């Protein structure tokens, strides 16, 4: 099978969130299963600082964007440790910018134009490079026009007639909305701007475009696949998603064991595995406490949170229980940035509890690994979470997650209730309602079990024993790709 993966970012070339991790890891796993695999991403400014070998293919393409024609230059690299090719769509006027989608918290006002160009350039490059894919795997709104072009303008893409499409939703909250007159930039017929197809409350939606025209729809966990069919989390597209429910598949994201495993991370104090997690994690915890200036106490529960400091990640809930938590004999580490009110909250907690709280308002890849390896409990009380990766990193490192039962969190963490503890399947602490009281009850259960070292270590080892590698996910995607092939074959023969 020949799979072309299209995304707006991919590790190690560019990253703003979990999409980049998926785009950097899933194609490698698909390639390991023997399939021809290639990835297309924009040549963002960060690409040139990624320290990856990049060569100019010499391919130059003239891409129509509205009434203009813009040149695309195609460069080539490889995903590290893989034969999967990465093709970089280069146009400095669109992509040589400080941010991928915006700057200073504000989206670029020409994002519609930029990603029209990217979508059309990808299709032109796939044809010119004679890749002849069986499946084009599109991801999030930035790639939503690709299925539309293939379905509505097949005469322009004769060499892609056999290709089916999968459109994966990583976060339905980002709809790719643009003013209706920007439809003229797409080169698509205005008849498509209607409420059945591309129009969303008077605006053009790239997300809706992908959902309507793709052969099959994917999302990043089974629970999120159900949640987005509800009015609460459907972002106004729940009717469409229910209509296409037979074509919707939820597959939990994976993690790259070459990158996120305590057995091989060079930045942690002492490597460990499921057999040596006791002494290994103790050494990582002591090193981390020393690193951030907290007392080196093996007995105190060390809680951590990594990620965006915004309401979606449950920060209103965390703020509501912070003082109550710090009345206990605990330590708290936070790594991330986001809403200014949460910056102020953390700075105030550090000022009033310097012996218990440490925060870094930014991001450090090395520190993220060190926190996962050294912490005892990971806090992830998200209001919604399509999949989540940090709870998977935590499970792999023997760090017990405290999560709300939503999206991928519900699919990956087994609650430490009486029955699950008794049969040895518990891996963390799950609460249902998005309230401070429900979060506090889960924290109380976690702190109580932490005092029972044999029971705690059984929970830790149960979490570490799970297989959250991309090899598992790749097998499931392979089945979806086969379904898409059957659809495309039937369409071509009709």
Residue whose C-alpha is closest to residue 6's, from 188, 131, 190: 131
- Backbone phi and psi for residue 272, each to the nearest 5 degrees, phi listed first: -155, 165
pLDDT digits (tens, 9 = 90+) for 325-335: 999 999 999 99
The pLDDT value given to residue 404: 98
Classify burial at 162, counting beta carbons within 10 Å of its beta carbon; exposed 0-12, middle 13-18, buried 19 or more.
middle
The full set of domains in the chain, from first to last, is 2-254+471-493 (3.40.50.2000), 277-467 (3.40.50.2000)
Side-chain half-sphere exposure of 280, counting CA atoms within 13 A? 23
Under 8 Å between Cβ of 19 and 7: yes
Q: What is the pLDDT of residue 60?
A: 98
Q: Which pLDDT does position 258 carry in this prediction? A: 84
Q: Residue written as tokens 């940090």?
A: 390
Q: How far is CA 270 from CA 260, 285, 300, 304, 308, in A?
A: 14, 10, 20, 19, 28
| Phi, psi angle pair for 417, to nearest 5° | -85, 180
- DSSP assigned state of 45: G
Three-class DSSP category at 129: coil
CA 109 – CA 126 distance, rounded (Å) = 28
Q: How far apart are CA 338 and CA 341, in angstroms?
A: 9
Query: Rounded to 5, what percent of the chain is helix, strand, coil?
Result: 45, 20, 35
Residue 359 pairs in a beta bridge with: 334
- Predicted TM-score (pTM) of this structure: 0.94
What is residue 278's predicted lDDT score, i.e. its pLDDT? 97
- Dist CA 191 CA 197 (whole Å): 9
User: Cα(493)–Cα(163) distance, rounded to whole angstroms?
Assistant: 13
Q: With contact defined as beta carbons under 8 Å apart, do 406 and 385 qualify? A: yes
Query: Which H or E element spans position 445?
Result: helix 436-450
In angstroms, the CA 52 to CA 73 distance is 18
* Low-confidence residues of the chain: pLDDT under 70: none
Kindly state the helix (H) or strand (E) to which residue 322 belongs, with its residue range.
helix 315-326
CB 151 within 8 A of CB 183: no
Q: How many CB atoms lie within 10 A of CB 5?
A: 27
Task: Say which residues have a Cβ less than 8 Å from residue 493's Cβ, sequence separation at least 6.
Answer: none
CA gap 437, 440 in Å, rounded: 5
- Give me the sign of the Cα torsion angle 185, 176, 31, 74: positive
Peptide bond into 12 cis (omega under 30): yes
Question: 207: closest CA among 172, 248, 241, 249?
Answer: 172
């Amino acid at each position: 099978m020949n799979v072309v993966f299209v995304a707006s970012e991919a590790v190690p070339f560019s990253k703003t969130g979990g999409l980049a991790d998926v785009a950097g890891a899933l194609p490698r796993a698909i390639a390991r299963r023997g399939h021809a695999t290639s990835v297309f991403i924009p040549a963002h400014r960060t690409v040139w600082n990624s320290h990856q070998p990049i060569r100019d293919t010499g391919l130059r393409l003239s891409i129509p964007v509205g009434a203009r024609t813009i040149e695309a230059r195609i460069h080539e690299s490889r995903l590290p440790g893989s034969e999967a090719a990465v093709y970089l769509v280069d146009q400095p006027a669109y992509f040589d910018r400080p941010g991928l989608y915006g700057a200073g918290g504000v989206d670029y006002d020409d994002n519609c134009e930029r990603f029209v160009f990217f979508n059309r350039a990808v299709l032109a490059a796939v044809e010119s490079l004679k890749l002849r894919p069986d499946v084009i795997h599109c991801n999030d709104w930035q790639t939503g026009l690709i299925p539309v072009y293939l379905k509505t303008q097949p005469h322009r893409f004769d060499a892609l007639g056999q290709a089916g499409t999968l459109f994966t939703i990583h976060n339905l909250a980002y709809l790719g909305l643009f003013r209706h007159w920007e439809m003229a930039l797409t080169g698509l017929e205005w008849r498509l701007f209607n409420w059945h197809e591309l129009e969303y409350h008077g605006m053009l939606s790239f997300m809706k475009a992908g959902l309507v025209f793709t052969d099959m729809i994917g999302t990043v966990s089974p629970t999120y696949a159900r949640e987005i069919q509800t009015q609460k989390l459907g972002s106004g597209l729940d009717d469409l998603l229910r209509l296409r429910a037979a074509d919707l598949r939820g597959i939990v994201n994976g993690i790259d064991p070459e990158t996120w495993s305590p057995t091989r991370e060079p930045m942690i104090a002492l490597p460990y595995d499921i057999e040596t997690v006791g002494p290994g994690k103790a050494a990582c915890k002591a090193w981390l406490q020393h690193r951030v200036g907290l007392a080196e106490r093996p007995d105190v529960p060390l809680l951590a949170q990594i990620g965006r400091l915004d309401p979606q990640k449950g920060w209103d809930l965390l703020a509501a229980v912070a003082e109550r938590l710090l009345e206990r004999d605990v330590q708290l580490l936070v790594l991330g940035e986001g809403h200014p009110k949460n910056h102020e909250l953390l700075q105030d907690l550090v000022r009033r509890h310097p012996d218990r709280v440490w925060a870094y308002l930014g991001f450090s890849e090395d520190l993220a690994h060190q926190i996962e390896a050294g912490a005892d409990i990971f806090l992830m009380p998200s209001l919604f979470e399509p999949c989540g990766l940090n709870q998977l990193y935590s499970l792999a490192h023997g760090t017990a997650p405290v999560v709300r039962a939503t999206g991928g969190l519900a699919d990956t963490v087994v609650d430490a209730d009486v029955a699950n503890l008794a049969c040895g399947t518990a891996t963390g602490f799950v609460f249902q309602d998005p309230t401070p009281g429900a979060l506090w009850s889960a924290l109380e259960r976690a702190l109580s079990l932490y005092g029972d070292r044999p029971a705690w270590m059984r929970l830790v080892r149960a979490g570490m024993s799970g297989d959250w590698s991309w090899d598992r996910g790749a097998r499931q995607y392979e089945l979806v790709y086969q379904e898409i092939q059957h659809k495309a074959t039937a369409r071509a023969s009709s």
